[in-house]
Amino acid sequence: MGNFKLPRLLLAGLIFFIIVMILSPDMTGALNGYFMVIIERSLIFVILAISLNLINGITGQFSLGHMGFAAVGAYVSGTFTSIWFKLNPHTLSHYPVFMICIVIGGLGAAVVGFLIGFPSLRLKGDYLAIVTLGFGEIIRTILNNIDYVGGPRGLLGIPMFSKFPIIMLFAFLTVVILRNLVQSSHGRAMLSIRENELASELCGVDTVRYKVMGFVIGAFFAGIAGGLLAHLLTLAHPTQYGFLPSALVLIMVYAGGMGSLTGSVLAAFTLTFLTEGLRVGIDALPEFTIASQTYKIGTEWTMVIYAILLILIMLFKTEGIMGMRESRILIIEEKK
């Protein structure tokens, strides 16, 4: 057993997990609850960003309605957990049930992803973007009109089960599964579609199958992220899943680098921490006085500075933080 080594990715995940657990309020308390929420949200965005990267960056399709899939996941899993714990309020260990419900939510989103995958067989580029944009809005409108899930008031009373270890587990599994997929022959087939669809079809790649596969798998993980978010906030509201949140995830994919899973992970963390960092930073700015008028830069300026920073990233690193490269941690190790 002398030459047994943990895979790098597992090691990195474990180190991150252990460090956060030690610093968390439950143990040493070096990180307060605010930090934990930011880390939890970052991890959820990691799932959203790398699953969108699979559709946009790897398969070369263009989806603008990614949060639509998350909405399906959130509502399906939220409804399932609510019903289960209403019928069986004394379930002792709720985590297995919860995890099953999250996966059911992901499957629901995957079914919808399968449906939306079909237009992608006929449409390309901007046209596909418009279809997916419309799809996101359709989901939102449908949710607004179903009384059973609260309509415009949102789905309420979802139990709070999304704790850091659970979110970490799902985020880690998502990264592992997508990494293995992308670096397998299936992943290479998807990449070939992005590079040149005609050429890859001539080489014998089943483009129809791989494009739909990209959408289904991407939607599945977006649904998982949606479910985790709903159980973190204890509610799901139609307005959370509109165009703007979808655009935020898209920004993460571009800022991280199209086609780079490492980039998406980094961007999800960087941008989430950046928003909160700016919030705290701007709060800490002192008041200043010009011509006997006191001014204070308010938190509403956060988004302005955020946008300027994003423009700077895109100007100076057009291909995103990582470009198309992967970190060594995310490359499958060769067996010697």
Partner 1 sequence: MKSYALSAAVAAILAGTFLSCGSSNKEIKIGGVAPLTGEAATFGASSKQGMELAIQEWNDKGGIDSKKIVLAFADDKGDPAEGATVFTKLIQQDKVAAIVGPVMSKVALAGAPICQANQLPMISSTATNPKVTEVGDYVFRACFIDPFQGTVGAKFALETLKAKKAACLFDVGNDYTKGLSEFFRDGFTKGGGEIVAFEGHATGTTDFKAQLTKIIAAKPDVIYVSDYYNDAALIAKQARELGYKGTMGGGDGWDSPKLTEIGGASVEGCWFSNHYAADDTTPVVQDFVKKYKAKYNAEPDALAVLAYDGMNIMLDAVKRAGKTDGPSIQAALKATDFSGVSGHVKFDDHRNPVKSAVIVEVKNGKVVYRATVNP
Helices 94-117, 66-87: crossing angle, 10 deg rounding: 150
| Piece of the chain touching partner 1 by CB under 8 A; list 7-15, 126-134, 215-223, 268-276 | 268-276
Q: Which positions from 109 to 138 touch partner 1 by CB under 8 A, shown as an x/- string?
A: ------------------------------
* Per-residue tokens: 19: 């460090």
235 binds partner 1 (CB under 8 A): yes
331 Cβ contact partners less than 8 Å away, ≥ 6 residues apart = 183
Looking at 208, 299, 308, 328, which residue binds partner 1 (CB under 8 A)? Answer: 299
Per-residue DSSP letters for 56-114?
IIIS----S-HHHHHHHHHHHHHHHHHHHHHH-TT-S-HHHHHHHHHHHHHHHHHHHHH
Q: Give least dist CB 66 to partner 1, A.
A: 15
CB of 249 closer than 8 Å to CB of 69: no
User: Which residue, 6 or 303, has its beta carbon nearer to partner 1?
Assistant: 303
Looking at 22, 28, 33, 88, which residue binds partner 1 (CB under 8 A)? Answer: 33
Radius of gyration over alpha carbons of the chain, in Å? 21
151 binds partner 1 (CB under 8 A): yes
Of residues 156-175, those binding partner 1 (CB under 8 A)? 156, 160
Looking at 239, 288, 308, 328, which residue binds partner 1 (CB under 8 A)? Answer: 239
Please name which of 227, 232, 276 lies closest in space to residue 38, comparing C-alpha atoms. Answer: 276
* Per-residue tokens: 327: 């970190």
User: Which residues would be at the binding site for partner 1 (CB under 8 A)?
Assistant: 32-35, 37-38, 41, 145, 151-154, 156, 160, 229, 232-235, 237, 239-240, 245, 266, 270, 273-274, 276-277, 279-281, 283-284, 298-300, 302-303, 321-322
